[in-house]
């Protein structure tokens, strides 16, 4: 079973119940329907019924599959659609797109091309991880690697051998910590879904989280048709950081998988992990997407920030840009101001 050294593995995800927000809204809508039915049956004046329309702006609610204790942390998602509010000169961003947000205040501090869709490479694995979590699988069960778990692009590396069997936790951790492609390609089977149904579920999860421009083609991110905006991926990393099972992997320094000759330790691809308190992070690269990075973390002042960089020129520059944006946000808008 894959496990970070300082974080015990959570047990298999329990069955979840709809949040109290969903129950409340369902109750209110049912009451309104009964009132309208009574009016229609007991009065000849149906103008009141015909003129009534449901409220245009019902409050956003978290997805029913999200763990109820953490669901309230997703309140920030509906506040991440604004423009950057910080004045002054931000760091020069040599990338296709970038965004940074204060996750405590629900405020976008800086946005550059944040609503332009681009290929996002292995940042896709955050969304496939969320889609897996939405199925609430038992990750202690074993799955044997078959040719169905081969990555969709020749040459993509994996630490899982064909025919080997591993617990779901090992696939999840390998995908989110070390960006293992076969790990992510195992998600549909772990979720009990066909490949195509799992891709559809990724689209549904994106819609539920307000990721309006995101479209998906495979669970690993190898295909260039995995498209999203920097703002979309900001919402994804916030959701991953709030989900206890996903955050355990997405913030870990390494993950272990069982091999015939013993355990193998897979190191994180996140070079900023030790520079602040990482709550979740994911890297990505393809020739088309170039170098991508998404992270949510807590600064030394206790402030939670989320940062996404898409299409940086080099492997290191994505981390440099993100770190410069974090420092700029701290300097120009100190915690609590």
Give the domain ranges of the chain: 72-332
- Cα 187 to its chain centre, rounded Å, is 15
Residues of the chain with pLDDT under 50: 1-56
Q: Does residue 72 sit in helix, strand or coil?
A: helix
Q: What is the per-residue pLDDT for 149? A: 77
Domain at 72-332: CATH architecture: 3-Layer(aba) Sandwich (3.40)
pLDDT at residue 46, rounded to an integer: 37
Q: What's this model's pTM, rounded to 2 decimal places?
A: 0.81
Q: What is the pLDDT of residue 147?
A: 81
Long-range contacts of 310-314 (CB under 8 A, 24+ apart): 310/95, 310/96, 310/97, 310/98, 310/118, 310/120, 310/230, 310/233, 311/95, 311/96, 311/97, 311/118, 312/94, 312/95, 312/96, 313/94, 313/95
CA-nearest of 98, 82, 90 to 329 is 90
The answer to whether 119 and 208 are in contact (CB under 8 A) is no
Neighbours of 149 (CB within 10 A): 23
Phi-psi region of 220 (alpha: psi -120 to 50; beta: other; left: phi over 0): alpha
Residue with tokens 């995800």, as numbered in its chain: 13
pLDDT at 337: 56
Per-residue model confidence (pLDDT) at position 89: 79
The conformation of residue 215, written as its DSSP 8-state character, comes to B
**pLDDT, position 31:** 42
Where helices occur in 6-75 by DSSP H, the ranges are 20-42, 47-51, 68-71
- For 7-11, the CB contacts below 8 A with 24+ separation are 7/248, 7/252, 9/169, 9/248, 10/244, 10/245, 10/248, 11/140
Strand 165-167 and strand 142-144: the pairing is antiparallel
């Amino acid at each position: 079973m894959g496990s970070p050294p300082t974080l015990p593995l959570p047990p298999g995800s329990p069955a979840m119940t709809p949040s109290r927000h969903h129950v409340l809204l369902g109750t209110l809508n049912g009451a309104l329907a009964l009132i309208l039915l009574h009016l229609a049956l007991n009065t000849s004046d149906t103008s009141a019924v015909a003129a009534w329309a449901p409220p245009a702006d019902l409050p956003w609610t978290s997805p029913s599959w999200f763990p109820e204790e953490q669901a309230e942390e997703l309140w920030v998602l509906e506040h991440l659609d604004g423009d950057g509010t910080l004045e002054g000169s931000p760091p020069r961003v040599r990338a296709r797109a970038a965004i940074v947000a204060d996750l405590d205040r629900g405020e976008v501090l800086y946005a550059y091309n944040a609503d332009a869709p681009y290929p996002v490479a292995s940042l896709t694995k955050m969304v496939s991880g969320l889609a897996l979590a939405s199925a609430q699988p038992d990750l202690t069960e074993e799955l044997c690697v078959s040719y169905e778990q081969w990555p969709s692009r020749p040459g993509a590396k994996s630490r899982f051998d064909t025919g080997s069997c591993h617990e779901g936790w090992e696939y999840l951790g390998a995908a989110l910590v070390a960006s293992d492609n076969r790990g992510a390609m195992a998600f549909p089977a772990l979720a009990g879904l066909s490949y195509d149904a799992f891709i559809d579920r990724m689209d549904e999860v994106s819609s539920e989280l307000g990721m309006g421009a995101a479209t998906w083609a495979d669970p690993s991110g190898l295909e260039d048709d995995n498209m999203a905006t920097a703002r979309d991926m900001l919402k994804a990393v916030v959701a991953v950081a709030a989900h206890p099972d996903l955050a355990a992997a997405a913030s870990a320094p390494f993950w272990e998988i069982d091999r015939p000759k013993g355990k193998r330790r897979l190191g994180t691809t996140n070079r900023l992990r030790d520079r602040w308190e990482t709550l979740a992070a994911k890297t990505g690269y393809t020739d088309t997407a170039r170098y991508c990075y998404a992270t949510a973390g807590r600064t030394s002042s206790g402030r939670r920030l989320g940062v996404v960089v898409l299409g940086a020129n080099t492997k290191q520059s994505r981390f440099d840009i993100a770190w410069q944006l974090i420092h700029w946000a701290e300097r120009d808008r100190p915690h609590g101001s």
